[in-house]
Amino acid sequence: MRIIVTKDYEDMSKKAAAIIAAQVAEKPDCVLGLATGSTPIGTYKNLVEWYENGSLDFSQVRTVNLDEYRGLPRDNDQSYYYFMHDNLFNHVNIDEANTNVPDGTNPDADAECARYEALIASYGGQDLQLLGLGHNGHIGFNEPAQEFDKTTHCVDLQESTIEANKRFFASADDVPKQAYTMGIGTIMKAKKILVVANGEGKADIVAKAFFGPVTPEVPASILQFHPNVTIVVDEAAASKLPR
Ligand code: GLP
């Protein structure tokens, strides 16, 4: 586990983008596992800039996103499909056919999750998986639980997650109650993992996830067992790490 502490959000975003850019340069047809949430927005901004100035080529890159709300149509501006197009895909030369987000509109949860898991396997898994961190330690939408979920599955979102995400919706009632998400096993199979976190609000969970006991009650803690994890956090999010 490598921890990179940056001055602020901008610096975190630049360093995280540089790690992703290095992956694309090293393997132009790499499989990137991508994340949503407010944390990676700056990372995607840097990637778009580097594409625009000719330093990055996405023409062969394939992507698999972590998760999607169940039931939200793709054109809903809170769907993760919409988010990815808005923040990255529409601004770089990626082939739409090479981008993948679970289909939240497929009412058959088992079929959709099995299709998505098989798709990731057919790609040979993620070369690099980008992850944000929920306040309760969730990664993707793998909520604290009694055990680690292995493969892509349908989850009931926790009250605290609905509360945290309601800022993007008209009200908490409008936040979908379920999501399709890669499992912990799907995430752990990635060859490299890159975690981003910023702000004081994430300081407790960053310390707990990476220095506390490994337990499904803190889903991100499993990353302590992954052989190639880089954590890029700003000073505020790093403030409770052991010195
Ligand atoms: C959501 C996403 C996660 C994300 C988390 C943190 O619930 N499903 O993938 O990491 O929120 O979001 P933020 O980056 O906005 O703090």
Residue nearest to atom 3 of ligand 1 (CA): 140
In this prediction, residue 80 has a pLDDT band, given cuts at 50, 70 and 90, of very high
Distance CA 198, CA 22 (A): 22
Q: What ranges do the domains of the chain cover? A: 2-193+221-229
The percentage of residues in the chain with a pLDDT greater than 70, rounded to a whole number, is 100
Mean pLDDT (the chain) is 96
In this prediction, residue 127 has a pLDDT band, given cuts at 50, 70 and 90, of very high
Determine the average pLDDT of the residues in 147-170. Answer: 91
Question: Among this protein's residues, is 153 annotated catalytic?
Answer: no
Cβ-count burial of 171 within 10 angstroms (0-12 exposed, 13-18 middle, 19+ buried)? Answer: exposed
DSSP characters for 68-136? EETT--TTSTTSHHHHHHHHTGGGS---GGGEE---TT-S-HHHHHHHHHHHHHHTTS-SEEEE---TT
pLDDT digits (tens, 9 = 90+) for 7-65: 999 999 999 999 999 999 999 999 999 999 999 999 999 999 999 999 999 999 999 99
pLDDT over 90 at 164, yes or no: no
Determine the average pLDDT of the residues in 173-191. Answer: 96
pLDDT at res. 96: 98
List strands edge to edge, sheet with 67-69.
Answer: 67-69, 178-181, 153-156
pLDDT at res. 168: 87
pTM reported for the whole predicted model = 0.97
Question: Among this protein's residues, is 136 annotated catalytic?
Answer: yes
In this prediction, residue 161 has a pLDDT band, given cuts at 50, 70 and 90, of confident
Q: Is any ligand 1 atom within 6 A of the Cβ of residue 39?
A: yes
Distance CA 38, CA 194 (A): 16
The percentage of residues in the chain with a pLDDT greater than 90, rounded to a whole number, is 94
pLDDT at res. 41: 98
pLDDT over 90 at 133, yes or no: yes
The phi, psi pair for 220, rounded to 5°, reads -65, -15
- Classified as helix, coil or strand, 202 is helix
Class of domain 2-193+221-229: alpha beta
Distance, CA 161 to ligand 1 centroid (Å)?
9
Q: Is any ligand 1 atom within 6 A of the Cβ of residue 141?
A: yes
In this prediction, residue 165 has a pLDDT band, given cuts at 50, 70 and 90, of confident
pLDDT at res. 243: 80
Q: Is any ligand 1 atom within 6 A of the Cβ of residue 237?
A: no
**Residue of 88, 32, 35, 93 lying closest to 63 (CA atoms):** 32
Active-site choice (85, 136, 165, 226): 136
Q: Is any ligand 1 atom within 6 A of the Cβ of residue 165?
A: yes
Determine the average pLDDT of the residues in 173-199. Answer: 97
Buried b (16+ CB within 10 A) or exposed e, 104-132: bbbeebeebbeebbeebeebebbbbbbbb
CB-side neighbour CA atoms (13 Å) of 89: 23
pLDDT at res. 22: 98
